[in-house]
Amino acid sequence: MATLPDKRTDFIEWYLAVVETAELSDKRYPVKGMNIWTPYGFRARRNLDRILIREIEATGSEAVEFPALIPQTEFAKEKEHIQGFDAQVYWVTKGGSTDLDVPLVLRPTSETAMYPVFAVWVRSHRDLPMNLYQIVNTFRYETKTTRPFIRVREIHFFEEHTCQVDEDAATARVRSNLDAFGRMAAAFGLPYVAVRRPEWDKFAGAYYSIALDIPVGAARTLQIGSVHHYRENFSRPYEIRYEAADGGSRYAHQTTFGLSERLLGAVLAVHGDAKGAVFPREVAPYEVVVVPILSATSGDAPMRAATEIVERLTRQGLRVHLDDRDDRPGAKYYYWETRGVPLRLDVGARESSARTASATDRLGTRRTVSLDALETEVEGALTAFDQALLAKARHEFAASFELASTLDQLKESQHVRQLAWCGSEACGHAIEHAIDGSLLGVPEGPPPLDAPLPAECIVCGQRPGVRWALAARPL
Ligand code: ZN
């Protein structure tokens, strides 16, 4: 049994080995950065989508699906946006052997696909708010090294686009999205920090961007999503106007909320360990795997008990798998451990005659469950597992940050830094230079570390406008 690289010292190698061993993605497709969703990976993705759909629809958003191809003429309407995406775009220029009159962009994101149509759909203040989302694949020509789920060229993408009556309503939608993400992150067991990106790092065309960052060891962070306020930056070039209650014509204020398969990368990065993947139950392809242990003398009682367990738990609504392959129990344990299944139930001759099963969760906690109370005891074991996993993740999250009070501390820290910043771009770049990384920006709400805010900026020593900021080396 191969051992994985060390997560602390060789994080990326460890991550790639976890994805590979768990068979979540196959990168042998002959286009770099366009990977195959395997059966096991697809199950995880479907669970991820289910959580996103549940939480966004609870806030009154409706699903749509727009075409993947965008005419160049529409794509070019918002200047900053096209500058931000130009280098990453795939073009479709021919239909058969004929050059297209208007070349088409394979969507890198869908503002420019949706907004010409929003201009037609939005007529009156009665049409607002309009909150629409889609889960589709987007395409970006990545030039950096690609990694499964974390940086790919064909991205499984969630994007909400909304039109609101005014800036305040759009601000309220941003808050609502952040709250919805809080509930999503709870299902993934992922502690995170919401950070307002500095001006020079906001989304192309946005008024402001709030990113959702997850510490993934050492000084690294992974941005797993973002919420943007557009004000009228897109509604003006795309003419998304409505007739207000007073009869006047106004531009809609817009917001977007984007998430992607990176969430799955974050789940693996945060929860995975020396044995491989670890899934919280809501994301786990299988919540429970049942392993019958057969021997020369066991007869078929263990298999009968295992089948009964699978039937009853399936009826209960759990995702359960019976591993009845002809293989040694030890090999099966290893197999499901690397794949991160929350709970394994083993049934041998002893267990089947006692009407019990031996339960082992992915963090190593063992207990005996009685078949008489199977449903409640399995539910209890899964809940306890999820709580322990979240407690472990929270502990590691808290240990990921360090206060930096001086430039020397800022340079030397091996953690995500929390520091005092005056808000100026010059000081921001000085911080980025000092750590050879990024100023993530200013946390929304309380900072990760509870400490009194210093009076002066860590770089320039100025007092006005000083606030907490975070700096790290994004993956
Ligand atoms: Zn400063």
- Average pLDDT in the 371-391 region? 98
DSSP states of 135-195 as a string?
EEEEE----SPPBTTTB-SEEEEEEEEEEESSHHHHHHHHHHHHHHHHHHHHHHT---EEE
Res 78: pLDDT: 81
Tell me: do 264 and 126 sit in the same domain.
yes
Which of 77-86, 308-317, 375-384 is predicted least confidently?
77-86
- Whichever domain contains 153, its CATH number is 3.30.930.10
Read off the tokens for 459: 């770089």
Tell me: do 323 and 199 sit in the same domain.
no
Q: Is residue 152 part of a domain?
A: yes
Q: How many domains does the chain have?
A: 3
Identify any residues that bridge with 71 across adjacent strands, giving them in sequence order.
104
Distance from residue 431's CA to the centre of ligand 1 (Å): 9
Distance from residue 73's CA to the centre of ligand 1 (Å): 42
- Work out the angle between the directed axes of helices 11-21 and 262-271 (0-180°, nearest 10): 110
Distance from residue 455's CA to the centre of ligand 1 (Å): 11
Say if residue 2's pLDDT is above 80.
Answer: no
Tell me: do 128 and 219 sit in the same domain.
yes
Q: Is residue 395 part of a domain?
A: no
Tell me: do 366 and 242 sit in the same domain.
no
Distance from residue 429's CA to the centre of ligand 1 (Å): 10
**Which H or E element spans position 220?**
strand 220-231
Say if residue 1's pLDDT is above 70.
Answer: no
Say if residue 371's pLDDT is above 80.
Answer: yes
Residue range of the domain that includes 115: 11-271
Res 277: pLDDT: 98
Kindly report, residue by residue over 429-470, the tens digit of the pLDDT. 999 999 999 999 999 999 999 999 999 999 999 888 999 999
Tell me: do 293 and 265 sit in the same domain.
no
Distance from residue 471's CA to the centre of ligand 1 (Å): 14
Distance from residue 430's CA to the centre of ligand 1 (Å): 9
Identify the domain boundary among 271, 305, 334: 271
Q: Is residue 178 part of a domain?
A: yes
Distance from residue 55's CA to the centre of ligand 1 (Å): 39
Tell me: do 324 and 463 sit in the same domain.
no
Backbone angles phi, psi at 414, to 5 degrees: -105, 20
Q: Is residue 398 part of a domain?
A: no
Res 28: pLDDT: 94
Say if residue 83's pLDDT is above 90.
Answer: no
d(CA 23, CA 205): 38
Half-sphere exposure of 295 (CA within 13 A, CB side): 8
Identify the domain boundary among 333, 352, 384: 384
Read off the tokens for 172: 């309220």
Distance from residue 422's CA to the centre of ligand 1 (Å): 4
Identify the domain boundary among 214, 241, 271: 271
**Which H or E element spans position 82?**
helix 79-85
Kindly report, residue by residue over 171-195, the tens digit of the pLDDT. 999 999 999 999 999 999 999 999 9
Say if residue 250's pLDDT is above 80.
Answer: yes
Tell me: do 260 and 340 sit in the same domain.
no
Res 283: pLDDT: 97
Amino acid letter for position 281:
R
d(CA 32, CA 145): 9
Distance from residue 472's CA to the centre of ligand 1 (Å): 18
Res 192: pLDDT: 98
Distance from residue 426's CA to the centre of ligand 1 (Å): 7
